[in-house]
Structure formats: C-alpha cells, structure tokens
Homo-oligomer: A and B are copies of this chain.
C-alpha cells in the first residue's frame, strides 16, 4: 500500500467521520489492533476509526472498497484466535461506541441491538423484562454482541440452550462493496431466500461488518440446582461427563475446572476456593420443580467416580464456583502468556481427549490447565509458559499442534466456539476437504469480491508461521 493511497482513504473517511474519532496515534492504534490471542501476528493499521452509526460504517467500508484497503472490525477485543487483529495498511473499525439497545419487544421476545452492546448489558436489559439472552461466553462482562456474532460465541449454558447462531434472527451489515443490507427477519419463522444472516454469524468479519443485530430472547429459566463433584483426575471427571450424556441428562451447564484454574482465581480474588481435588465438575439442572430434583439426583449418580460429590446446599458457594469458572482465563493470564485451545469432541470421547491432553502435557513438558464446557465436549486446555522462556514456548506450540491433531483423530473439530482467526487457519485446512475450502473461497468472493473484509482470517492467505497444519 503506497503512502498517497493511504492518505486518500483517510481523507475520504474524514469526510464522513469527525476527526476526533479517527485515531492515528501509534500507541492508541497498537492498543486497539489485537485481541487476546497470545502469539497471533498483529499487522500495522493505518488508523482506528470509531464509528457511531450504520451509515458511518457503510461510508468507511465503501471508502476502503474504493481504495482496496483492508477493514478489520473489532468489538471488545476479547477474542482468542486473533480474528480481530489488525492487517498491515488497513483500517481498524472500532464498533464499541455503537452500544445502543434499540428495542426489546417482550411479546415477540426479541431485542434489536447495535453491535457494540456488551453481552451482560443485553442480558440485564432483557432480565428487566423477565426475558433472557442465553449465550453466555465467559467473556460476557466485556465482550460485545457484534463480537459474539462474529465468532458465533458459545458459553456455559449452550449445552442446553444453544449458541449465538441459534438466537440471531436478523442483522444489518455493510457488505464488502460498502452497501448496507438487512438479512434475516423479525418473525419467529421464515424461509424467504437463503439464510444469509446465519451464514454471516461465525464468519469473523470476513463477509460483512455487522451494524445491528436482532436476537431472539427466551423467558427467564427456572432457578437451577447445582451439583458439584471433586475428582482425582481429569479422566475420572471426563467419565462422569460421558455418563451424564449416556443417561440422557440435559444439564443447563456442565463445566470442568481444574486445580490450576481454581488456584489462579484464588490467588487473584481470594475467594477461598481451594479444594481437595484435581478437578471439579459443576453441573446445573434447571428443569422446573420436582423434575429438577430428579435430574439433580440422576446427575449425582453419574458422578459416582468422584472423591466427593453433592448437591450444593449453599447457592452462594455454588455461585462462587461458577464465578471462578468464568474468571479462570483472566486469572491464568495474569501468570504469563496463555495459549488457549478450543477443541470440541463427541461427548463420549471426552475422557479419551482429556487423557491425550494429559499425555501431551507430559510429552512436551508444558503446564496445561483445563477448563471445559464439558457437557458439549468443548475443551479449553490452557497452555501456560513463563514470560520470556522461548524454549517453553516452542514446546507449548508443539503441544498445541498435537491437541488439534488429537481432536481431529477423535472425530472432533479444531474450534468449538473461539473461531479460526489466525491461530487455527492450519487447523481449518486439516479439518476440511479441499473442495469445501474451495466453497469457502467462492462464498467469500461472492460477499466480498474485493477481499477487503478482514483479509487473511479464516481462509485466504497462507497459515502464519508456527500455526499447526
């Protein structure tokens, strides 16, 4: 990208966006140029443009289209795959000021929000009307709906209630050619044309820049019962998970947290959590009334391999354990660079996958902490290294590659909910057939013919150095 072209695109943007929202200070640009994926490459952006409306967004994308300049949209930057990392010579489009909850309709049970609305803020606004937006990534206090849509974010309760895609009814977005379009609908059902709204969910900003989202809401769920189990090994805990699936239980959450994580949270928040176990399983059962009691008893029976298990009699304690689960990632991050895995395997393969992760940790002499949305087979091994220890980093990268390969060997996927971004581009190539990758490229060209939308993410561009193949 030559300098005159760069100035041209910024000049055009400045015709539509006030100068104070075009951030050019290198430190500011740098701070807004990456997400939380350790070790993913970060490009040098021309500027960050903080838009406040769909129309401004459209103007910026149209200007970039005219100049062939890449556009990377970002929400809160809590992603874990490098999907929001800046691209050399591109514009970072900061959506955080577009944070208006446009509408909550309690009869149709839907909300219309701008992409910068924080997940927890939407949840709180819905709850004020007796409604619930279920997708609850652990980043929900910070991450935005736009980012959740980009990654098709999951979370704790999606084992029963589904992921972001299951809640997106419609959206407005700027296409790769700088047009504003509305996809999807407001009705409960609808099959008018292709499900392009669904296609955009999870496309990591490579098919459009989302400027508004219409999401389905549910009634608030009944109060849940928590069942807690302490296990001597991740494998024992994995067996309990597989047993609960075989028993036909549908918990509202079934989370695994290991001692590494609980200790890190305790060290940070002094929650007094340290437990006498290697692994804790937390199950939530929210069937109403006696059905919930029965489900809790049946879950407890599935925890027969535990060293200790009980239905929680203290909801504050149960809530503290779930809070610790949510804080595990930032707590570990405080201790040093964390390389986060996100594989997902069939539920019956969870014990075997956890055993392989343990063997991988030993083989590569890498500390691997484990948190997992265990109920849906979505595991988050966290590879921890000391800052500055390059040899450890090389070993951790090798462990990362082996975990991806093991997940595929067990009929799993390389990413359950974090997305491909930059870190899993090699994994995507390993997972999908060449003909399917070709279909991806054809769809990408169809919606972004100039290739300006988050180029190099998901598909397109060679895998970054060191990324598993």
Residues of A within 8 A of B (CB): 106-109, 130, 151-152, 154, 158-159, 162-163, 165-166, 175, 179, 181-183, 185-196, 198-199, 201-203, 207, 218-219, 222, 242, 245-246, 248, 250, 287-291, 344-348, 373, 376-378, 411-420, 424, 427-428, 431-433, 435-437, 439-440, 442-443, 445-447, 449, 458-459
Contact present for B186 and A191 (CB under 8 Å): no
Given B154, B412, B416, B440, which contacts A193 in the complex, CB threshold below 8 Å?
B440
Contact present for A151 and B191 (CB under 8 Å): yes
Given B175, B198, B416, B437, which contacts A191 in the complex, CB threshold below 8 Å?
B416
Write out the residue numbers on chain B whose beta carbons fall within 8 Å of the beta carbon of A420.
191-193
Interface of A is mostly: loop
Contact present for A191 and B418 (CB under 8 Å): yes
Given B166, B291, B412, B443, which contacts A289 in the complex, CB threshold below 8 Å?
B291
Stoichiometry, copies per complex: 2
Write out the residue numbers on chain B whose beta carbons fall within 8 Å of the beta carbon of A417.
189, 191
A sample of 5 more A-B contacts (CB under 8 A), given A162-B166, A175-B439, A186-B346, is: A107-B346, A192-B427, A193-B436, A195-B198, A443-B447
Contact present for A188 and B378 (CB under 8 Å): yes
Contact present for B439 and A181 (CB under 8 Å): yes
Contact present for B344 and A187 (CB under 8 Å): yes
Given B185, B219, B414, B416, which contacts A413 in the complex, CB threshold below 8 Å?
B185
Given contacts A181-B436, A245-B107, A413-B187, contact A431 B377 (CB under 8 A): no
Given contacts A106-B246, A107-B246, contact A188 B443 (CB under 8 A): no
27 A-B contacts, Cβ less than 8 Å apart? A107-B246, A109-B245, A159-B188, A165-B195, A175-B435, A185-B413, A186-B411, A187-B346, A187-B376, A187-B411, A187-B416, A188-B376, A189-B378, A191-B416, A191-B417, A193-B420, A193-B431, A194-B202, A194-B207, A196-B440, A199-B443, A219-B248, A289-B290, A442-B446, A442-B449, A443-B443, A443-B446
Write out the residue numbers on chain B whose beta carbons fall within 8 Å of the beta carbon of A287.
288
Write out the residue numbers on chain B whose beta carbons fall within 8 Å of the beta carbon of A245.
107-109
Contact present for B186 and A194 (CB under 8 Å): no
Q: How far is the CA of A345 from the CA of B108 in the complex (A)?
A: 10
Q: How far is the CA of A414 from the CA of B193 in the complex (A)?
A: 10
Given B163, B195, B246, which contacts A189 in the complex, CB threshold below 8 Å?
B163
